[in-house]
Amino acid sequence: MKLIFEKGNKGRGCELLPPCDVPITEVNPNFKRNIELHLPEVSETELSRHYTELMKRTFGVNDGFYPLGSCTMKYNPKINDEMAKLPGFSEIHPLQPEDTIQGCLEVMALAEEYLCEITGMDRMSFQPAAGAHGEFTGLHLIRAYHKSRGDKKRDKILVPDSAHGTNPASATMAGFKVINVPSTKEGLVDLEALKKLVGEDTAGFMLTNPNTLGLFEENILEITDTIHQAGGLNYYDGANLNAIMGIARPGDMGFDVVHLNLHKTFSTPHGGGGPGSGPVGCKDLLAKFLPSPQVMKNSDGSFRLEYNNEQSIGRVKAFYGNFLILVRALTYILTLGREGLKNASESAVLNANYMMHQLKETFSIPFPKACMHEFVISLEKLKKEKGVSALDIAKVMLDYGIHPPTMYFPLIIQEALMVEPTETEAKETLDEVIAIYKQIYEEAVNNPESLHNYPLKTFIGRPDEVMAARNPILRYRAE
């Protein structure tokens, strides 16, 4: 496919700008570019066709089944976009006087109130732009808390071996040492090992519940209590909140700080690099350290932005985070309501269990008892016996027009495929996919060699994944 820079012709499409109706001022030569501005010069038809062609080469939740475990690729209702498009939200400037953006401040206040209620937290900041960014922010809250108490020796964050890679990465970036906590053979946090690892140097513990194996931590109260007893704080990675919305709250499980991935649980766009939103919520004891400004309600019912937070860890993003993403998430919450959110989680768990039970005779499922919103398949045996890897299976799925599950995660499962169907898939779709998975497995057993050649129907087959990750060519260089 040609790049947009390689399409069109000189002078084409330039009349899109209206004639200048203000006096022309000479620009200081120091600020002028001294090389030609190389912009695509295409007609509207070419532009439209270009983006349609690009669109056909991508795969999103609107194209088909997208069970990317841990990522919660649920359908994004169109009403979310309708609300975000309203001029009162989309045509404002972040530096406008507060009395002209009262509606926007109310959106932030309402979203904070509802998300705090859903998570059991007391306050929230919407600045972080993604889950990992939320982790980084939340860990800084933990750091600020210990520092404010003069407790300087707490420099370790405990992280289970099943954790998402961003957990240890964020802890390291926030200046902590990471201590790995092993899992039991049942796939849960090894409480006895945890008890041996905690101590006077424990700053905190990071956990997602249900965990990355799709299992609810049965000993969660004892786990969080163990950390509290040692003087540490508990961090909830909210990536898996879709399993428990309206049913269980991290705040009631003993967590002190959480991040949410609005682009997962709360049906805002996900993928392609965002814009995402990873709000951080905390209990009162950490609220004074949150990034400022915070939205506050005045006694007359109006709202203001509060900047006078001397102990704040500071800003982690410009202004107030990805505000229009928040509008979408609030729309989702208001549309579904209390019961709707609970139903969404219940259906997510039901869909995952339905798929797992239909597949467990065919595939090896290391933890086959009831799962939460996702489950993990291991293809270790298939790889050993037939030479067919998780990657091979994932590649065939592309030819069936469905997106593969998350691969090779969590790291503690060999040849892992992590399936999260989400609540927005109908039973008919699940049945079709289950039949496809079984058919692929049969082919892998009977004709393993053929599995190394797929996909045959996609634009790109098997790119060099190391090169694509390590040396991506993302910029067009003009001649």
**Candidates 49-57, 126-134, 195-203, 371-379; binding stretch for ligand PLP (CB under 6 A):** 126-134
For ligand PLP, the closer CB: 80 or 261: 261
418 near ligand PLP, judged by CB under 6 A? no
Q: Which of 131, 232, 254, 279 binds ligand PLP (CB under 6 A)?
A: 131
Determine the Cα–Cα distance for residues 158 and 458; give it in Å rounded to an integer: 42
**C-alpha span between 171 and 140 (Å, rounded):** 9
Instruction: List the one residue from 50, 65, 70, 424 that touches ligand PLP (CB under 6 A).
Output: 70
208 near ligand PLP, judged by CB under 6 A = yes
Instruction: Choose between 58 and 439: whose C-beta lies nearer to ligand PLP.
Output: 58
In the complex, which residue's CB is closest to ligand PLP? 131
Between 146 and 264, CB nearer to ligand PLP: 264
The string of DSSP letters for 167-225 reads: HHHHHHHTTPEEEEE-B-TTSSB-HHHHHHH-STTEEEEEE-SS-TTS---TTHHHHHH
Residue from 239, 390, 397, 417 in contact with ligand PLP (CB under 6 A)? 239
Stretch in the footprint of ligand PLP (CB under 6 A) among 94-102, 130-138, 282-290, 365-373: 130-138
Residue 258 β-bridge partners = 236, 281
Site for ligand PLP contains 137 (CB under 6 A): no
SS3 content of the chain, % helix, strand, coil (to 5): 40, 10, 50
Q: What is the dihedral of CA 10, 11, 13, 19, to 10 degrees?
A: 160
Beta strands in 232-325 (DSSP E): 233-237, 257-259, 280-282, 294-297, 303-306
Residue 126 main-chain phi, psi, to 5 deg: -100, 10
Of 73, 101, 121, 130, which lies in the binding site for ligand PLP, with binding defined by CB under 6 A?
130
CA distances from 38 to 10, 111, 295 (A): 11, 43, 43
Task: Give the residue with the Cβ less far from ligand PLP, 231 or 240.
Answer: 240
Is residue 129 within 8 Å of residue 173, measured between CB atoms?
no
Find the part of the chain contacting ligand PLP (CB under 6 A) among 95-103, 129-137, 220-228, 385-393. Answer: 129-137
CA distance 189 to 192: 9
Q: What tokens appear for 330 in the block?
A: 């609030």
C-beta of 263: minimal distance to ligand PLP in Å?
A: 6
- Give least dist CB 253 to ligand PLP, A: 16
Stretch that binds ligand PLP, among 128-136, 194-202, 379-387, 426-434 (CB under 6 A): 128-136
Residue 373 interacts with ligand PLP (CB under 6 A): yes or no: no
Q: Which of 246, 251, 276, 281 lies at the binding interface for ligand PLP (CB under 6 A)?
A: 276
C-alpha 278 chain-centroid distance: 8
Stretch that binds ligand PLP, among 97-105, 124-132, 228-236, 329-337 (CB under 6 A): 124-132
Asked if 174 touches ligand PLP (CB under 6 A), the answer is: no
Figure out which of the listed residues 127, 212, 234, 242 binds ligand PLP, where binding follows CB under 6 A: 212
Q: Return d(Cα 212, Cα 166) in angstroms, integer.
A: 13
CA 203 centroid distance within chain: 25
Please say whether the beta carbons of 249 and 342 come within 8 A: no
| Residue count, binding to ligand PLP (CB under 6 A) | 14
* 268 touches ligand PLP (CB under 6 A): no
Question: Angle CA(435)–CA(62)–CA(209) in degrees, nearest 5?
Answer: 75
- Chain residues that interact with ligand PLP, rule: CB under 6 A: 70-71, 130-132, 164, 166, 208, 212, 237, 239, 261, 276, 278
